A = this chain, B = another copy of it.
Amino acid sequence: MPQFRQDFITKEWVIVSAERAKRPDQFQHERACRTDRPAHDANCPFCPGNEDKTPPSVYQQGDGANWRIRVVPNKFAAVNPALSPKRQRDGVFLSAEGFGVAEVIIENPAHNTCLSLMPPEGVKGVLETYKQRYTALSGNEDIDLVTIFRNHGPAAGTSLEHPHSQVIATPIVPPLVRVLMQQALIYHDTYGECPYCVMMNEEIKRGERIVADGKHFLVFCPYASQSPFQMRIMPKRHHSRFDKINDEEMAELAHMLQTALKKLYIGLNDPDYNLVLHSSPTSDGELHYDHWRMMIIPRITTAAGFELGSGIFINTMPPENAASFLRGVAVN
């Protein structure tokens, strides 16, 4: 029987359509094995030896040419730090110059690796870099929101194979972010608890949508997942801002993130996905009602006219089935 489900935070609805469900293995990707690619590509601007094809690093792990991770300004940035953040009215239309900061995090010297394949300390280095850039960009008082994300594969919006993440810092907190926060605020004002903490405890109690449960982090498939195999990674300690993460948590997060991505990589044969880090607007300080988290969104289905028109997504993979499948994928 198909079922409407409402997301506890966003209040958006999905239709979970078990009748149309495929078996998990029918979602497998046809990509050729990533490790069949060369470890170094002389034409890749992110490969070692081509450092002059990018602007100089703004942050680096490893010394000089022996870098392990490099952060460089995005040469094809959609925003520019030299512009003004000031809003401008023109009749009914509101605009601003495209002020902002866009950076590329080159995650590893190897061209043919990814977060699922690199050594655990490599994943930890990437997350430390996320924190370093989040903290550095938070210091810019014209910046209100720092979005850190990863596009993996063409269906996720990237044509560049070399493993990389991106950072875009904007002077704007958009409605998608603010409306969610307002829903969480209303919940907190009503019940006196963070709704994310409440949801996470409920998921732990039920168990059926959990992919991995650690001391500090929970990985689960959300109750109202909009598309197959979505995963959320949430810290058990309440904080609205990612930069509050401590070293012990960072080590576990690296392990949990790699576990989640490796389960996708092995179970679905390296599907395209987006990874998004949600953290409160940098101008808002620490909040009782918001809770930082990571979303993994495999891009294996297409939103069509109904989804675009109504915001109601049809998900043919019940998240309980997705979680059960992912729990069963051995990653060691």
Residues 78-107 of chain A, each 1 if its beta carbon lies under 8 Å from chain B, else 0: 111001000000011111111100000000
The answer to whether B312 touches A11, judged by C-beta atoms less than 8 angstroms apart, is no
Least CB distance from A159 to B in Å reads 10
User: Chain copies in the assembly?
Assistant: 2
- For A307, give the chain B residue with the smallest CB separation: B157
- B12, B151, B168: the one contacting A174 at CB < 8 Å is B12
Complex: how many Å from CA A305 to CA B313?
18
Least CB distance from A169 to B in Å reads 11
Complex: how many Å from CA A92 to CA B196?
11
A147-B310, A166-B306, A198-B92 known; A12 vs B98 contact (CB < 8 Å): no
The answer to whether B176 touches A76, judged by C-beta atoms less than 8 angstroms apart, is no
- B6, B93, B310: the one contacting A176 at CB < 8 Å is B310
Q: Does A229 contact B (CB under 8 A)?
A: no
Which 5 A-B pairs rank lowest in CB-CB distance, beginning with the nearest?
A: A157-B304, A176-B311, A2-B98, A149-B305, A276-B309
Q: Does A172 contact B (CB under 8 A)?
A: yes
The answer to whether A172 touches B1, judged by C-beta atoms less than 8 angstroms apart, is no
Q: Does A27 contact B (CB under 8 A)?
A: no
Q: Which of A124-173 contact B (CB under 8 A)?
A: 145, 147, 149-151, 154-158, 166, 168, 170, 172
Least CB distance from A22 to B in Å reads 12
The answer to whether A309 touches B147, judged by C-beta atoms less than 8 angstroms apart, is yes
23 A-B pairs within 8 Å (CB atoms) are namely A2-B77, A2-B79, A2-B97, A2-B98, A3-B96, A4-B97, A4-B99, A4-B170, A5-B95, A6-B94, A8-B92, A8-B94, A11-B175, A13-B172, A15-B79, A92-B198, A155-B302, A157-B304, A158-B304, A168-B310, A170-B310, A179-B179, A274-B308
The answer to whether B168 touches A306, judged by C-beta atoms less than 8 angstroms apart, is yes
User: Beyond the given A5-B93, A157-B302, could you list 18 further A-B residue pairs with CB under 8 A, ordered by the A residue number?
Assistant: A1-B83, A4-B95, A4-B172, A6-B93, A8-B92, A10-B175, A145-B310, A147-B310, A149-B305, A157-B303, A157-B305, A168-B310, A172-B312, A174-B311, A174-B312, A175-B311, A276-B309, A278-B309
Complex: how many Å from CA A158 to CA B295?
27
A309 neighbours in B (Cβ, 8 Å): 147, 149, 274, 276-278, 295
Complex: how many Å from CA A179 to CA B151?
29
Q: Does A231 contact B (CB under 8 A)?
A: no
